[in-house]
């Protein structure tokens, strides 16, 4: 068999995504620049959105679901007076309104849009309807009727009013919340129409703009490589486990860590460092750690502690590690 294309590279690159390209465009560009076997991103940003785009390489791709589920922060500008097909500046004008809300009117509608709400996604979105992407149907002149979906919006803050036509907001939200829909709904609740004219993600899980590099700060020109620096990365990467820092840590022994890595379960009562009694429910995730090293994630299922997603495999413990799949101590009961 031929060698799989690319290098084994593990870690996170936090990109300050520019306006214009898609998130997939940026992943492909950086995968090529890093010559990486495997890469993905932790949450799509629209072409007209900028800001924090976490890009995972190698082992870090295993933690993408936890970044996708993580809390995110955005800052956007809502322009009043025009609704658009895409709910942002890119679309065609659908309707207009002369109404411009006051600050007090805006503040009055925000509580009803905060918390666990039902949100209608933008017609121009990547949702699938009968096997087709919604945006493909909309571009073909067949915009689908998208049902409302549950959304969690933690907070909406009116930051400033540059003028009567615009308002700037900071938003903290959960997974799958569309800022374009939120901007549309704020305008409608104020008795007018509107669309997003500027959108920037400022935080995604544990990653914020302080971690982010612009594309100009990453060495993309391979013509400058020499024999001496051929293995150097175009930019430094954060450890793959950085994505998990918001998840509580659980210290495990070498033997316990081996069992989890081998896919064996452990009675929580047998742990050397027991789980807190208040946190043994099946909804809790834990970072399994040996010293300062993260093995991966574990959780309690059917009364036993099991691996949820491991970053390490048996090679972490050495070539002569005990095969816990074959020993009585590693047997599930």
> Which residues are designated catalytic?
46
Alpha-carbon distance 85 to 72, whole Å?
25
DSSP state of 120: P
Q: CA 145 → CA 20, 83, 149, distances in Å?
A: 27, 17, 12
Q: How far apart are CA 35 and CA 322, in angstroms?
A: 35
Instruction: Please state, in angstroms and rounded to a whole number, the distance separating the CA atoms of residues 77 and 200.
Output: 9
b/e map of 205-231 (b: 16 or more CB within 10 Å)? bbbeeebbeebeebeeeeeeeeeeeee
Query: What are the structure tokens assigned to 225, written together?
Result: 């490589």
What is d(CA 160, CA 219) in angstroms, rounded to the nearest whole number? Answer: 37
Q: Please give the torsion angle defined by the CA atoms of residues 292, 298, 299 and 305, in that order, rounded to the nearest 10 degrees.
A: -90
Q: What is the edge-to-edge ordering of all strands in the sheet holding 285-290?
A: 249-251, 285-290, 293-301, 304-310
Q: What DSSP assignment string belongs to 9-42?
A: --EEEEEEEPSSS-HHHHHHHHHHHHTBS-EEES
Residue 275 gets which letter from DSSP? P
Tell me how many degrees the CA angle 82-86-89 measures, rounded to the nearest 5: 55
């Amino acid at each position: 068999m031929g060698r799989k294309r690319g290098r084994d590279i593990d870690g996170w690159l936090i990109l300050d995504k520019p306006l214009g390209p898609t998130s997939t465009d940026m992943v492909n560009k950086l995968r090529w620049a890093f010559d990486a076997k495997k890469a993905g991103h932790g949450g799509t940003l629209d072409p007209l959105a900028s800001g924090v785009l976490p890009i995972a390489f190698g082992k870090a791709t295993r933690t993408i679901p936890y970044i996708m589920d993580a809390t995110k922060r955005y800052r956007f500008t809502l322009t009043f007076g025009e609704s658009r097909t895409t709910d942002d500046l890119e679309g065609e004008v659908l309707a207009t309104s002369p109404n411009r809300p006051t600050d007090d009117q805006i503040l009055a509608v925000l509580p009803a849009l905060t918390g666990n709400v039902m949100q209608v996604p933008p017609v121009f979105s990547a949702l699938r309807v009968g096997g087709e992407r919604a945006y493909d149907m909309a571009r073909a002149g067949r915009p689908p009727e998208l049902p409302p979906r549950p959304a969690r919006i933690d907070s909406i803050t009116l930051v400033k009013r540059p003028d009567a036509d615009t308002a700037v907001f900071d938003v903290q939200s959960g997974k799958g919340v569309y800022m374009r829909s939120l901007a549309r709904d704020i305008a409608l609740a104020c008795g007018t129409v509107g669309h997003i004219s500027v959108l920037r993600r400022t935080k995604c899980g544990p990653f914020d703009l302080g971690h982010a590099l612009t594309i100009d700060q990453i060495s993309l020109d391979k013509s400058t490589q020499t024999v001496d620096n051929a293995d150097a990365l175009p930019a430094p990467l954060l450890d793959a486990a950085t994505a998990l820092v918001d998840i509580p840590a659980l210290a495990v022994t070498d033997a316990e860590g081996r069992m989890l890595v081998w896919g064996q379960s452990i009675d929580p009562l047998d742990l050397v460092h027991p789980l807190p009694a208040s946190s043994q429910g099946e909804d809790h995730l834990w970072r399994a750690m040996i010293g300062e090293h993260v093995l991966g994630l574990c959780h309690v299922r059917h009364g036993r502690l099991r691996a949820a997603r491991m970053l390490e495999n048996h090679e972490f413990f050495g070539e002569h590690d005990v095969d816990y799949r074959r020993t009585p101590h590693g047997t599930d009961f």
